[in-house]
């Protein structure tokens, strides 16, 4: 049997056909267009999945179920996304919408929780009992594993680790608060920081890299320009890692997990990101001497962790 995993992101909808071992057989993505109505988004999601099934030459009878990883707060029982800030969702009956296109069981879980499940089953946190997974994308997602089980709080809405204020009265967050970690350390925030720095420093390489069109700056731009020696970009990257470290040290002081796993596109920077990050975290951890320390790792499945985890959720 096969399992469809859908990772509904603020920027792209990614989906994959996953086999019983958690291996992706076929995958693809389309832009989310997150300012659109939820029905429109779901329509594109279904088209993407249908195309993947056709391309893989799989009979729909061989598909067991669909799992969706969505940012925000899921009502797992009823298959409804109660709330998400970046998609502007409130009570979107996603199971019902999908079942208008597929006569399959549909399971719903938070997207970062899906990534956490994938990394704990077969990835960077395999067999670890206490794990915090942070997904860096349009927002910051959090997945918490305690005693080998997903932690979601008494009402299923826990683990919103991106919505921890690290700067009172700071940057506006789309959740309505000011100064959330998400508004400093998401990919969206990194892009904003890069755009600001490029605008303030016309001589910076960042500007020529995007042919003076700041709208083309991505979350990779500052890292790329820094690698080429650009001082402005180095400063952007250093400050970004500093703020990421503040938030991660917070999570370590709270959870002291065996491992913190970083997912999302930014995690592809690997040791360029992780080495300075580990340094900055160490000096910020409440008690780092005399106890074993939390490991900081990149997600093994990178951006695919959400797809694999969503498929695994639908398997259970």
Which residues lie near a second copy (CB under 8 A)? 72-73, 75, 82-83, 85, 90-91, 128-130, 142, 144, 146-147, 151-161, 163-168, 175-177, 243, 246, 249-250, 253-258, 283-284, 286-287, 289-294
Find where tokens 């499945």 sit: 301
Q: Smaller CB distance to a second copy: residue 51 or 258?
A: 258
Q: How far is the CB of 304 from a second copy (least distance, A)?
A: 26
Both tokens assigned to 71: 């940012």
Q: Smaller CB distance to a second copy: residue 50 or 149?
A: 149
Q: How far is the CB of 197 from a second copy (least distance, A)?
A: 18
Q: Smaller CB distance to a second copy: residue 26 or 239?
A: 239
Asked if residues 114 and 311 have their Cβ atoms less than 8 Å apart, the reply is no
DSSP track, 203-214: TSHHHHHTTT-G
Cα 65 to the center of its chain, rounded Å: 22
Q: How far is the CB of 305 from a second copy (least distance, A)?
A: 21
Asked if residues 313 and 3 have their Cβ atoms less than 8 Å apart, the reply is no
Q: Which of 194, 184, 33, 182 is nearest to 112 (CA)?
A: 182
Q: In this structure, how many other beta carbons lie within 10 angstroms of the beta carbon of residue 292?
A: 8
Q: How far is the CB of 177 from a second copy (least distance, A)?
A: 6
Q: How far is the CB of 228 from a second copy (least distance, A)?
A: 28
Q: Smaller CB distance to a second copy: residue 137 or 142?
A: 142
Q: Smaller CB distance to a second copy: residue 175 or 311?
A: 175
Both tokens assigned to 262: 């970083």
Q: How far is the CB of 199 from a second copy (least distance, A)?
A: 22
Asked if residues 113 and 159 have their Cβ atoms less than 8 Å apart, the reply is yes
Asked if residues 112 and 159 have their Cβ atoms less than 8 Å apart, the reply is yes
Q: Which of 56, 108, 103 is nearest to 79 (CA)?
A: 108
Q: Smaller CB distance to a second copy: residue 16 or 162?
A: 162
């Amino acid at each position: 049997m096969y399992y469809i995993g859908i990772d509904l992101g603020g920027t792209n909808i990614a989906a994959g056909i996953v086999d019983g071992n958690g291996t992706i057989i076929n995958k693809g993505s389309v832009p989310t267009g997150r300012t659109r109505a939820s029905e429109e988004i779901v329509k594109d999601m279904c088209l993407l999945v249908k195309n993947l099934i056709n391309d893989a030459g799989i009979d729909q009878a061989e598909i067991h179920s669909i799992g969706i990883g969505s940012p925000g707060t899921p009502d797992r029982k009823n298959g409804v996304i109660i709330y998400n800030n970046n998609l502007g969702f409130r009570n979107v009956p996603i199971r019902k919408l999908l079942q208008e296109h597929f006569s399959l069981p549909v399971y719903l879980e938070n997207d970062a929780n899906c990534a956490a499940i994938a990394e704990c089953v077969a990835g960077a946190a395999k067999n670890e009992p206490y794990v915090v997974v942070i997904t860096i994308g349009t927002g910051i997602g959090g997945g918490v594993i305690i005693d080998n089980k997903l932690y979601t709080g008494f009402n299923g809405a826990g683990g919103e680790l991106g919505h921890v204020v690290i700067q009172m009265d700071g940057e506006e967050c789309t959740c309505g608060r000011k100064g959330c970690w998400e508004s400093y350390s998401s990919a969206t925030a990194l892009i904003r920081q890069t755009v600001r720095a490029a605008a303030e420093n016309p001589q910076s390489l960042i500007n020529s890299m995007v042919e003076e069109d700041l709208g083309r700056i991505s979350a990779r731009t500052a890292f790329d320009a820094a690698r080429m020696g650009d001082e402005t970009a180095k400063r952007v990257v250093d400050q970004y890692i500093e703020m990421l470290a503040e938030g991660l040290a917070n999570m370590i002081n709270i959870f002291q997990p065996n491992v913190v796993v970083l997912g999302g596109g930014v995690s592809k920077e690997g040791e360029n990101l992780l080495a300075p990050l580990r340094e900055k975290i160490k000096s910020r951890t409440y008690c780092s001497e005399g106890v074993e320390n939390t490991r900081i790792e990149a997600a093994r499945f990178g951006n695919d962790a959400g797809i694999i985890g969503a498929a695994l959720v639908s398997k259970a």
